[in-house]
Structure 1
Amino acid sequence: MFDLPPDEWDDVTPEGGEPAGLDGEAPQLYFPNVEVFVLEYLAPTYCRSLEGTQRVWCPQWWRHAEAINRLEALWRAWEHLRLDPATGMSVWWRDHADPHMAALLAPDGPFKGCGTERGHQPRSAPLPVSAAPVGLFA
């Protein structure tokens, strides 16, 4: 699927623009992209101690494909749920932020080996896979 160098994300960018809303108009985003969302909202809001071995974070989170995908999902969910004035933010925290951040910060998660002091370290190898028998998914 992606041909990534062994130690970094290769700046693959999705093609196309924002999906159209129900009225045919592109949704109005609060944050223009995932990087701004992480820098201006998530990092200052989701404060956790990174001392010890219980949580791991990579300052260069954008060099990890899994982190990009999870953080993009968090940003998109936040953009959608922020418009729900009743329980949107509660749903975002419970169903999106807490599970994704637990996976990202896990000692054996995508940032394993990285750290605030060590910075980015080469990422782990992809999961080994074998091709399915021909016609199984046709």
Structure 2
Amino acid sequence: MYSRRVGPGNASFRWSARWWEHPEALARIDALWRSWEHLRLDAATGSSTWWIEHADHHMPILMSPEGPFAKSEDKNTPGEPLPYEAPPAGLFPDMRRQHHEG
């Protein structure tokens, strides 16, 4: 859903298809996911709050040419999704399962 043209060199935005290999990015994306999971339950303003207070803060930092993906050579064309490779199996265990099994 988040669509920006990314690339190396003079590109305004950077992204790594293997975002999960960058500790800062992993921490920020995890925070984005956790805040989304909480705020999506607020049918009134949750989505807007998430965009304003979370995505609009973290994404420019993540995608900055000086950010965690500064050395990434990954690129896409306008309108394409951000480059993506699936993370290794087991990197993100299903916390819902662990909660119910414990």
TM-score if structure 1 supplies the norm length? 0.51
Whether contact under 8 Å (1:54, 1:107) holds in the other structure is yes
Separation in 1, partners of 2:51, 2:59: 10
Whether contact under 8 Å (1:59, 1:115) holds in the other structure is no
One-letter code aligned to 2:64: A
Aligned length: 74
Shift of residue 98, structure 1, vs aligned partner: 1.3
Shift of residue 50, structure 1, vs aligned partner: 1.3
One-letter code aligned to 2:2: Y
- For 2:4, the equivalent position in structure 1 comes to 48
Which one has the bigger helix percentage? 2
- For 1:65, the equivalent position in structure 2 comes to 23
Higher relative contact order (CA 8 A, sep 6+): 2
Runs of 4+ that moved beyond 2 A: none
SS at structure 2 position matched to 1:113: coil
One-letter code aligned to 1:46: Y
The answer for unaligned runs of 5 or more in structure 2 is 76-82, 84-102
- For 2:69, the equivalent position in structure 1 comes to 111
Residues 36-69 of structure 1, C-alpha deviation per residue, up to 9 Å, x if partnerless?
xxxxxxxxx1111115421000111010000000
Separation in 2, partners of 1:107, 1:84: 34
TM-score if structure 2 supplies the norm length? 0.68
Bigger CA radius of gyration:
1
> Is 1:85–2:43 an aligned residue pair?
yes
Report sequence identity in percent. 49
SS at structure 2 position matched to 1:89: helix
Separation in 1, partners of 2:29, 2:60: 12
Shift of residue 115, structure 1, vs aligned partner: 2.7
Separation in 2, partners of 1:85, 1:115: 39
One-letter code aligned to 1:61: W
The answer for unaligned runs of 5 or more in structure 1 is 1-44, 120-138
- For 2:98, the equivalent position in structure 1 comes to none
